[in-house]
Amino acid sequence: MGAVSMVGGGDEGDDVVTPGELLGDSAHLVPGRGAYLAPNGRSVRASLTGTRRLVPPPPGSSDQRSVVEVVGLKAHGAVPQPGSIVVARVTKVMARIASADIMCVQSKAVREKFTGIIRQQDVRATEIDKVDMYQSFRPGDIVRALVLSLGDARAYYLSTAKNELGVVSAQSIAGGTMIPISWTEMQCPLTGQVEQRKVAKVD
C-alpha cells in the first residue's frame, strides 16, 4: 500500500479539510496536530479547518505510518480539544439541548467558528432527569464549559456538570448584568427580579 503517505513527498497540498472530515485510516496514518482518532479507532479525522499535510515517519522509526496534520488556514487561533475549558455564548435553547458559539479555549481567543452543544444530561451532575434547559440557560448567556468530545454535525459536546462550570455572565430581561445569588439563581440589579440559571461557582 503506502500510496497514501506519498502526497507530494509529504508537502502540504491544496486540499482543504473541515472539522470532522475523514483524513484517512489509522492503519496508514497517525493523527498529529489538528487531527484526532475517531471513536471507532480506525478513522483519522480533522479537528479544524485547514490544509491536510503528511509528515513521513522519522528514519529508523519502528512505526512506518505517516503523521497527518491539519494546518489552519488562518493565523493559529486556539482549537477546542477534549478536556479543555472553553467560554461560549449561548445562541439557542431547546428542550433537550442548548447551542453555543465557542469564543475562548483555556483563555485564548478562537479565530474561527466552533459550535458547542450542551445536552440535557451534561448540564449538571445531580438530578439529571429533572434538568430544565430553559431554566439553565438563555440565549446570550456566557458559559464556562468542559469539552467532552467532537460530537455529531461538527459541533463539540460541552459539559457544565461541575460546580465551577455554567453561566458566568448573563443579562436580565431588563438589560442589567445579573448577579449570582445561588447555584441556580441570578438576580437583576435593576429590577430585583430573580431568573433561573445553571450558575458557575465564583471563586
3-class state of residue 5 by DSSP = helix
Mean pLDDT by 10 residues, the chain (203 residues): 39 65 89 84 83 83 85 69 93 96 87 90 92 95 94 84 95 89 93 95 72
Let me know whether 95 and 44 are in one domain. no
Which phi and psi angles does 158 have, rounded to 5°? -115, 150
Tally the domains of the chain. 2
Q: What is the pLDDT of residue 2?
A: 42
Let me know whether 27 and 91 are in one domain. no
Is 33 part of a structural domain of the chain? yes
Is 127 part of a structural domain of the chain? yes
Is 203 part of a structural domain of the chain? no
Is 40 part of a structural domain of the chain? yes
**Count of C-beta atoms within a 10 Å radius of residue 13:** 11
What does each C-alpha distance from 60 to 28, 30, 37 come to in angstroms? 17, 16, 24
Let me know whether 98 and 141 are in one domain. yes
Let me know whether 132 and 165 are in one domain. yes
Q: What is the pLDDT of residue 139?
A: 95
3-class state of residue 122 by DSSP = helix
Is 105 part of a structural domain of the chain? yes
Let me know whether 121 and 150 are in one domain. yes
User: Are 10 and 34 spatial neighbours (Cβ–Cβ below 8 Å)?
Assistant: no
Let me know whether 95 and 157 are in one domain. yes
Is 77 part of a structural domain of the chain? no
Q: What is the pLDDT of residue 169?
A: 92
- Supply the range of the domain harboring residue 58: 3-72
